[in-house]
A and B are shown apart, each in its own frame.
Chain A
Amino acid sequence: MRSRSGSARAIVRLALVLAAAPLLAAPGLAVPVTTPQGPVEVAVRGDLIDILALLRLTGAEVGYAPAAGSFTATLGDFEVQFTPGGSLAVADGRLLTLPGPLRQIGDSVFGSFGTASALLTPLGWSLAGSPAAPVLDRTVSRERLILTVVRAEGGVMVVVGGTTRRPRVSTAAGAVTLQFTVPIELGAPLPHAEELRGAEVAGDAITLRLAPDQEVASTYTLEDPPRFVIRLQKVQPVTGVVQQPHGPVVVIDPGHGGEDLGAQSASGAAEKDIVLAVARATAARLQAAGITARLTRERDEAIGLGERTAMANRLQAVAFVSIHVNASPARSARGAETYFMSANASDTQAAQSAARENVGASEDAVQLILWDLAYVANLNASARLARTIQERLNALQDIKDRGVRQAPFVVLTGATMPAALVELGFISNPEEAVRLQTAETQDQLAAALAEAIAEFVRTPGADAAATPAGTP
């Protein structure tokens, strides 16, 4: 990836900068920076150091776009963009959150030692030493992983911190390997846990050896700070039979809940209450029709978006329907609409990736192809599910048909079965808000949803998804 084609020019530029730098530094307002070519004075202001000077010392070309107010440092094929006054940067398409803000002072940009280091790293340079005696050198960086073990209901989670990079995961009998794109090391000893037998680091990969009765249930990422989580579970007996003793299961998801009220009417009616009532009634009607229906929440409680689809995946549901009530800045907006996952390429990629992670699918090439095929089949089936729901809703009186649409909803990402999100009406529309709160309307909506879901479940289309062999 890294091109060194411009390295000769960079060295010449570095030499010129090194020669000129001592003349530019003001006495008493500079620190000596150790570079591969020798010490160079770089301006400081209190705890802040001249970041543009440091970048130029690496040989990077630094440009300024006045209209955008941003700087771009380019070194070979690598590029970093940053804006004074902010604490964000983009490095080769990756977003960086800097440890501190960037300040423009005169013609240069100053930042903390850590901020300077964060901007230099993507260019292949490091800033070590101390703020009083920095050492600027080419990087042979190793990311220091911090592993912690968290026990939770249903298994143990190994949380990998210390890196923003998302590894490729591969599993083998008794082991899971995380492949990063940079060299890594363990920043602390592996925590003691009976589920883990050890860890081996080799270059940019770490392999965790698992106890014989353990296997990877799923992997996922957490934000703020970025962490990668491996959820372990006891090895499940392979039966070769889909575990659905009571026939097909559908998962009904009443949106929002707990502190998340969802949209509200002018009078204070909350989306979370309306959709829970409709979801309960829908589930009851499905049960009466002989279809097992599970709710993602039975009461007024907060459930994460990812948890909702994860539950459907765990239950191997044949359909997932998330129920919502709409709102818009346009008060006259009214009607029902149904969504399924966007077909946009990046959304599809994200959904496929999430789906694989949710079921703990391996990165085996054949398995991935099977998952891709299953995903496309599910997308077609999701469209059919959404159409069926919308058609049933359209048959109700006083429902304006807003059609079937696509968008990248988090709650639909990662579903390994046909999934749709239905908006029953607009709580922001005064008339619809009143109607949505009546038991009669809620029952009509539930009946329409239950009929649609039952029709979908009982009428397999040509889109029926082929679940990859070997997955649970």
Chain B
Amino acid sequence: MSWVVLGLAMAALGCGRRAAAPAAVATPVAARPGTSTLVLFFVGEQGRLRRESREVAELPAATQARVRLVLDELLGGSRSGLASPMPWAVTVQAVFADRAGNVFVDLSAPPQPSVAGTSAELAFVYSIVNSVVANCPGVAGVQLLIGGKEVATVGNIDLRRPLAPNLDVVEP
């Protein structure tokens, strides 16, 4: 069931020209009773995001709590040896959700003012955005806040508004 929702969400919310491509969505796998199957995005060998599925205890329905658990799993790292997209020891300080389907995730501030390298920055931003949208029904966009503040960018990606998931930076 959760995979159906995930598939629909990613198909509907993905970047324009990829949105209609069902191949971009992982093969549905039914979760066992009392569990949920998460799809998280880590860094593959060529620097693009790669999906990793894992089974976790059933996720809460409430958006904010669900987002926190998804991010806890993402920040906890890959279980299949994929690289972490996090450029620093990121922690989640707060999560907010509005009624329009946007989630605001406040992350701890980095030691350096920016993230070097477009691939590194895209992996950082969209590992979070894609993971949250893929696993949280009703969430359409994610805005990253850093150190309790809205930021324009941590490099060159525009963070001034909620971002929709981007499948262009994900391995096919």
A residues in contact (CB < 8 Å) with B: 65, 67-68, 70, 79, 81, 83, 85-90, 92-93, 95, 97, 223-224, 255, 260-264, 271, 305, 324-330, 332-335, 339, 342-347, 350, 402, 405-411, 413, 421, 423, 426-428
Contacts and interface: CB of A to CB of B under 8 A. Distances in A.
Contacts of A406: 15, 166, 168
A334 B48 CA distance: 11
Interface in B74-103: 83-85, 87, 93-100, 102
B94 A407 contact: no
Given A70-B64, A346-B162, A333 B46 contact: yes
Interface string B129-165: 0000000000001010100111111001110111110
A95 B150 contact: yes
Contact of B119 (A85, A271, A326): A326
A410 B117 contact: no
Contacts of A330: 43-47, 83, 119
Given A70-B64, A410-B156, A413-B158, A329 B83 contact: yes
24 contacts: A67-B62, A68-B64, A81-B96, A83-B95, A86-B106, A87-B148, A88-B94, A88-B104, A90-B97, A92-B98, A262-B117, A327-B116, A327-B120, A328-B43, A329-B43, A329-B84, A329-B87, A333-B45, A342-B166, A343-B15, A344-B15, A406-B166, A426-B117, A427-B117
B65 A90 contact: no
A423 B162 CA distance: 25
A296 to B, nearest CB: 14
Contacts of B141: 346
Nearest to A260: B114
A324 B155 CA distance: 12
Interface in B97-125: 97-100, 102, 104, 106, 114, 116-120, 122-123
B22 interface: no
B94 A329 contact: no
A82 to B, nearest CB: 8
Among B100, B116, B141, B166, max chain A CB count under 10 A is at B116
B16 interface: yes
Contacts of B160: 350
A226 to B, nearest CB: 9
Contacts of A324: 118, 156
Contacts of B97: 81, 90
Given A92-B99, A93-B99, A305-B153, 7 more contacts: A68-B95, A95-B96, A97-B149, A329-B120, A342-B15, A405-B168, A426-B119
A90 B158 contact: no
B106 A327 contact: no
Contacts of B15: 342-344, 406
Contacts of B87: 329
Contacts of B47: 326, 328-330, 333, 426
A88 B46 contact: no
B94 A83 contact: yes
A440 B92 CA distance: 46
A260 B116 CA distance: 9
B156 A411 contact: yes
Nearest to A224: B149
Nearest to A383: B17
B166 A68 contact: no
A70 B94 contact: yes
Contacts of B100: 93
A305 B117 CA distance: 15
A381 to B, nearest CB: 16
A90 B98 contact: yes
Contacts of B153: 305, 410
Contacts of A70: 64, 94-96
B68 to A, nearest CB: 6
B28 interface: no
A67 B58 CA distance: 13
B166 A407 contact: yes
Contacts of A95: 96, 104, 143, 145, 150
Contacts of A93: 98-100, 102
B43 A263 contact: no
A95 B97 CA distance: 10
A64 B40 CA distance: 28
Given A65-B64, A92-B98, A326-B118, A410 B157 contact: yes
A325 B97 CA distance: 36
Given A87-B148, A93-B99, A344-B164, A68 B68 contact: yes
Contacts of A334: 46
B156 A327 contact: no
Nearest to B103: A90
B169 interface: yes
A407 B168 contact: yes
B104 A90 contact: yes
A344 B153 CA distance: 17
A411 B156 CA distance: 7
Across the A-B interface, the 6 shortest Cβ-Cβ residue pairs: A327-B117, A67-B65, A333-B47, A68-B64, A328-B47, A93-B98
Contacts of A90: 96-98, 104
Among B87, B114, B120, B141, max chain A CB count under 10 A is at B120
Contacts of A407: 118, 122, 157, 166, 168-169
A90 B98 CA distance: 7
B121 to A, nearest CB: 9
Contact of B158 (A325, A329, A333, A408): A408
